[in-house]
A and B are shown apart, each in its own frame.
With several copies, the nearest count.
Chain A
Amino acid sequence: MYKQGLFEVLSNDKIAKDVFKMVLKGDTQYITAPGQFVNIKLDGKFLRRPISVCDCEDDKLTIIYKVVGEGTEQMSAVETGSTLDILTGLGNGYDITKSKKPLLIGGGVGVPPMYLLCKKLVENGQNPTVILGFNTEDEIFYEEEFRLLGADVRVTTVDGSYGTKGFVTDAFPDEYDYFYTCGPMPMFRAIEAKAVTSGQYSFEERMGCGFGACMGCSCKTKYGSKRICKDGPVLVREEIIW
């Protein structure tokens, strides 16, 4: 189930280069799984902007977004105390019943959905290993937050300015029985080449509605056409056509 609601902005702070964290207060009851997303209405923009749920606890919703265009630029200027019109409860989210020793891989702004996922897995005693991949040191965020959840956290940077030099695949642990990932396409391709278990990928697509009505976000899978917004954004490794 999804729902439109008004959320109050509690904070909106820069946490890394071009990356902002926004904490909102409102009715979060429709957010039921990590990996779901919300769709945000911005003044003067026609379409809403889809952003993953980073954390959700009681009536507080946390999102992390990167400024890449006009909409996210505008979001970064939203003031504390103002109100945003948000659709919540969108997308299927990750299925967390699949593993005992999961590997979580977040790249860039693919990191945020890993946080709530990690939290849930830790709560379930599933002992996640987390790899956070960035290009360079000043892009890094949330390393400490993941550690505080009690996860085994590894950070990679492409230029080696922090953590392991290289791609997320250069920090793969020896043991994992399943993986969850969100991030850019090149990272997905590298994971696809290296990963030895089943897993779940979270995809992005330009969206019209975000709740399954317009067929704007369709993709072909081995089991037929799926809507990224409603049947996804999370697809299991076995169904994906690369």
Chain B
Amino acid sequence: MVDLSVNLAGMEMDNPIVPASGTFGFGKEFKDFYDINILGSFSFKGTTKDARFGNPTPRIAECSSGMINAVGLQNPGVEHVVKYELPEMKEYFNKKVIANVSGFSVEDYAYTCRILDKEEQVGILEVNVSCPNVHGGGMSFGTSPECAAEVTRAVKAVTTKPVFIKLSPNVTDIVSIAKACEDAGADGICLINTMLGMRVDIKRRKPVIANTMGGFSGSAIFPVAVRMVYQVAKACNIPVMGCGGVSSAKDVIEMMMAGATAVQVGAANLVDPYVCKNIIEALPIECEKLGINKISDIIGVID
């Protein structure tokens, strides 16, 4: 029997598979497809201080081996999440969940994390720094080491739960940003978020996405994700949660060898709702073929 368990910054997981934020809602839609308790954990929809409708539609565009989304962090706000979503979730998910937190100012992040810190169901706070900093000229927090570190410190100050900073790949030097987060006290790094992309509707002569640009994800971005996971895992001493384009057990193994302790699956859930279940079932078989007895042995084996 292959041992699939991993320890992610103190959170014991039966396996490394984590549906990525924004592609799994609060788990409700997937429990009709399979028992989601088979998952290592899951990261719920990006939650902000206040409720948000998000961007105008169309919010979705198709690409080769991927898609663009411009949902714009639609969510019911942290109070609603704590009052309704988490209690309901308890009925169909009995493991610790990962809380994905977004914000538009450092105070936003701290506010939301302080509330989520009290929730026993939350195992890890995953702080998405890809949002535009409204006090910082609109560039996202994740584009500068200083801003990312500032968010990290603010969040660490209000919680005792492990804090993962989820980084944006749209940067020149991912390592410097990851290191700044580590130095500011982050317990782990999650990467990558979506890449900034755009498609044009050549019939209408307009961008497909109402918001012009959006977040590009899916198998197309896998090589960029593997590269960044590798670079960050080599440079930092905190665990990395890998994400970006994963859709098979082999992809999971590849990302773990590159340095990931756990692996998130995003867009693939939308097109194949069973993908995480299939991966969890295929992992022991693929591991056996490769002579892997304990999956945690392969984390970062690449030189």
Contact = CB atoms under 8 A, between A and B. Distances in A.
A217 B53 contact: no
Contact of B29 (A206, A211, A225): A211
A205 B62 contact: no
Interface in B12-33: 22-25, 28-30, 32-33
A87 B58 CA distance: 22
A215 interface: yes
B29 A208 contact: no
Contact of A4 (B29, B65, B273): B273
A217 B267 CA distance: 15
Nearest to B61: A206
B60 interface: yes
A214 B45 CA distance: 9
B215 to A, nearest CB: 11
Contacts of A215: 22, 25, 45, 54, 59, 71, 74
Contacts of B65: 46
A66 interface: no
A230 B219 CA distance: 26
B301 interface: no
A216 B269 CA distance: 13
Most buried by B among A1, A41, A209: A209
Given A46-B218, A211-B29, A206 B273 contact: no
B172 interface: no
Give the interface residue-count category, chain B: 35 or more
Most buried by A among B59, B69, B269: B59
Given A47-B67, A208-B67, A213-B24, A219 B271 contact: no
Contacts of B22: 214-215
A117 interface: no
A230 B29 contact: yes
B285 interface: no
B134 interface: no
Interface in B247-303: 267, 269-274
Contacts of B71: 214-216, 218
B60 A207 contact: yes
B interface, by DSSP: helix, strand, loop or mixed?
A: loop
Given A206-B58, A206-B60, A216 B271 contact: no
Contacts of B32: 1-2
A217 B60 contact: yes
A207 B270 CA distance: 10
A216 B53 contact: no
Contact of B67 (A1, A41, A46): A46
A48 interface: yes
Interface in B22-54: 22-25, 28-30, 32-33, 45, 53-54
Contact of B64 (A41, A46, A208): A46
B59 A206 contact: yes
A28 B38 CA distance: 27
A214 B270 contact: yes
B11 interface: no
Given A4-B273, A47-B60, A220 B53 contact: yes
A232 interface: no
B66 interface: yes
Contacts of B62: 45-47
Given A47-B62, A209-B269, A214 B69 contact: yes
Nearest to A44: B64
Given A47-B62, A87-B273, 12 more contacts: A2-B32, A46-B66, A47-B270, A206-B61, A207-B60, A208-B59, A209-B273, A212-B25, A215-B54, A216-B71, A218-B54, A218-B71
Interface of B: 22-25, 28-30, 32-33, 45, 53-54, 57-67, 69, 71, 74, 208, 218-219, 267, 269-274
7 contacts: A45-B62, A46-B218, A206-B59, A208-B67, A209-B29, A214-B60, A217-B60
